Copies of this chain bind each other. A is one copy, B any other.
Amino acid sequence: MKKSDVIEKILQHKLLQTPQRDQGQAFAPTNIALCKYWGKRDSELNLPVTSSLSIALPTKGALTSIIESHAKEDVVILNDKEVSPDSNFAKRLKNYLDLFRVKTLWRLQIDIKMNIPAAAGLASSACGFASLVSALNELFAWQLTKRELSLLARLGSGSAARSLWNGFVEWYAGTQADGMDSYAQPLAVEWPTLTIGILPISDAEKPVSSRVAMQRTVETSMLYANWPNKAAQDMKLLHQALQEKNFSLLGETAESNALNMHSTMLSSWPPVCYFLPETIAAMQQIWSLRRDGIEVYFTQDAGPNLKLLLHKKDKMIVKKYFPHADMINLF
């Protein structure tokens, strides 16, 4: 099945619409997965092998404003600078918008403001696509539900499905071939004492893109065979941790899940290693803090940087060991 077929299913006659308002604008937060999205059951539709669970960073994300443009091509502006139409970034957006302009022709000026430093290793495509579909929904007055927006955002970037909400969000793997059951949904849990620390390690370019890393893992790592079972178990444990407000269980599960994901990469060929020497040094420091009774855990995505999970009360002490960490309150 193709992306355009799914969009047709969701939008139907609305695909005939041209911009209905002067402007569409939306903010979407970036999100950090505590149980990772790792492996696709359908790479065209970004359908995941497993369900995943994330926490949004309410103050970090993308604010996207779109207006109709009368230029020949879409115009993309990122943080007040026009992006070359030949760049991968602009092409990816254009290709995505092409999916929506099959029956009517329009061009957009897309103005994206992101407050995510590249060095922080936060998923910019997640909040980027989530804010874009929300802005489209406004501009075209589609009046879609958030669930439908989640389905559309997923077609741009898998983890974007989770960036439509603040707080804890679950993205269902689903089982349908058309992916209509693979959307995200917020969890009714608040946890005001939870803090996330963004620990920048390096802003050097990734040796391998996360897309390539994911594909190579699924194709070449023999250990990946048991990843779906690991993820299923971790989803259960995370739900339990959220229900019980059990911070140790939350932290242990998130850290173990991340290390298992990186294990599937290291066991691929050629090996995919997102650990830098400084990443390992930071992990050792975290483990040492835990041995000293300070409960701090980490998670790591497809990059060298770590995200810390800690109690709000431990912010100052953890800052002493990680002065560059950007501490973010979640609720």
| Residues of A in contact with B (beta carbons under 8 Å apart) | 222-223, 225-227, 229-230, 233, 252, 255-256, 259-260, 262-264, 266-267, 269-271, 273, 275-281, 283-284, 287
Would you give 11 A-B contacts (Cβ < 8 Å), ordered by A? Answer: A222-B229, A223-B260, A223-B263, A260-B266, A260-B267, A263-B263, A273-B280, A273-B283, A275-B275, A277-B284, A279-B280
State how many copies of this chain the complex holds: 2
CB distance from A210 to the nearest CB of B (A): 18
Contact assessment for B271 and A255 in the assembled complex, using a CB-CB cutoff below 8 Å: yes
**Chain B positions within 8 Å of A284 at CB level:** 273, 276-277
Q: In the complex, A283 Cα to B269 Cα: how many Å? A: 14
Please give the distance in Å from A221's CB to the nearest CB on chain B. Answer: 8
Q: Knowing that A223-B227, A256-B267, A277-B280 are A-B contacts, what are 10 other residue pairs whose CB atoms are under 8 Å apart, sorted by A's residue number?
A: A223-B264, A223-B267, A225-B226, A226-B226, A252-B269, A259-B266, A276-B280, A277-B281, A279-B280, A280-B280
Q: How far is the CA of A80 from the CA of B271 in the complex (A)?
A: 44
What is the CB-to-nearest-CB distance from A78 to chain B, in angstroms, rounded to a whole number?
A: 31
Chain A's interface: helix, strand, loop or mixed, by majority? helix
> A280 vs B283: C-alpha distance in the bound complex, in angstroms?
13
Q: Which one, B222, B262, B269, B270, contacts A266 given CB within 8 A?
A: B262
A267 to B280, CA, bound (A): 15
Which residue on B lies nearest to A283, using beta carbons? B273
Considering the chains assembled together, what is the distance between the CA atoms of A264 and B226 in angstroms? 11
Would you give the shortest CB distance from A104 to chain B, in whole angstroms? 48
Closest to A277 in B: B277
Chain B nearest CB, measured from A264 CB (Å): 7
CB < 8 Å neighbour of A222 from B230, B278, B283, B287: B230
Partner of A277, one of B229, B271, B278: B278
Which of chain B's residues has its CB closest to A261's CB? Answer: B267
Chain B hits for A266, CB < 8 A: 259-260, 262-263, 266
- In the bound complex, what is the Cα–Cα distance between A270 and B222 (angstroms)? 22
